[in-house]
């Protein structure tokens, strides 16, 4: 379990940032004219694509897989959720960023919990 404040701060910032960017992009792109399943698929894959440059930048400062894995998960989930909402009702770019950023925190908590569960001796 990571306990160094610098890296915990980096994990939080990376996930909130990527979630916010992906959420804002989905809010800008998706409208109520989109069928929801298509919007969600586009959100997931576009979220992953948008994640790559942000992930590479954050990785320079905060680590490799510890940064890459939760950021990728955040971007996929933020892309799907915000795209789904935007296909149902109008979502402003600011709201999309807020939703996306907020999704980053539970995703990070999930990966920390999974890491604690899987730590130690393995097969």
Partner 1 sequence: MSTAEARKKWDDAARGFDFANSRGPEKRWGPLKQGFFAPMQGKVFFLAVGTGLDIQFFPTGQDITGIDFSPRMLEKAQPRAASYDGKMELREMDAQHLDFADDTFDQVYTSCTFCSVPDPVQGLRELRRVLKPGGTLRMFEHTGSRWFPFNAMLHLMNPLARRFGPEVTRDTPGNVRAAGFQDVRVRNVYLDIVRMIEAT
Residues in the site for partner 1, rule: CB under 8 A? 7, 10, 48, 52, 56, 58-69, 72-73, 76, 111, 114-115, 118-123
C-alpha to C-alpha distance for 122 and 46, rounded to whole angstroms = 35
Within 10 angstroms of residue 40's Cβ, the number of other Cβ atoms is 20
CB of 2 to partner 1, least distance (A): 8
Which C-beta is closer to partner 1: that of 10 or that of 96?
10
HSE on the CB side for 38, CA within 13 Å? 8
CB of 106 to partner 1, least distance (A): 14
Q: What are the tokens at 47?
A: 């979220």
CB of 122 to partner 1, least distance (A): 5
CB of 42 to partner 1, least distance (A): 15
C-alpha to C-alpha distance for 12 and 54, rounded to whole angstroms = 14
Cβ within 8 Å of residue 98, ≥6 positions away: 20, 23
Which C-beta is closer to partner 1: that of 41 or that of 63?
63
């Amino acid at each position: 379990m990571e306990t160094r404040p610098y890296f915990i701060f980096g994990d939080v910032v990376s996930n909130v940032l990527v979630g916010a960017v992906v959420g804002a992009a989905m809010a800008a792109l998706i409208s109520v004219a989109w069928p929801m399943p298509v919007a969600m698929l586009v959100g997931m894959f576009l979220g992953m694509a948008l994640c790559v440059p942000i992930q590479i930048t954050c990785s320079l400062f905060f680590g490799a897989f510890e940064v890459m894995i939760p950021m990728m998960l955040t971007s996929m989930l933020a892309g799907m959720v915000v795209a789904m909402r935007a296909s149902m009702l109008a979502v402003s770019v600011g709201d999309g960023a807020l939703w996306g950023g907020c999704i980053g925190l539970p995703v990070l908590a999930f990966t920390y919990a999974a890491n604690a569960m899987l730590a130690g001796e393995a097969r």
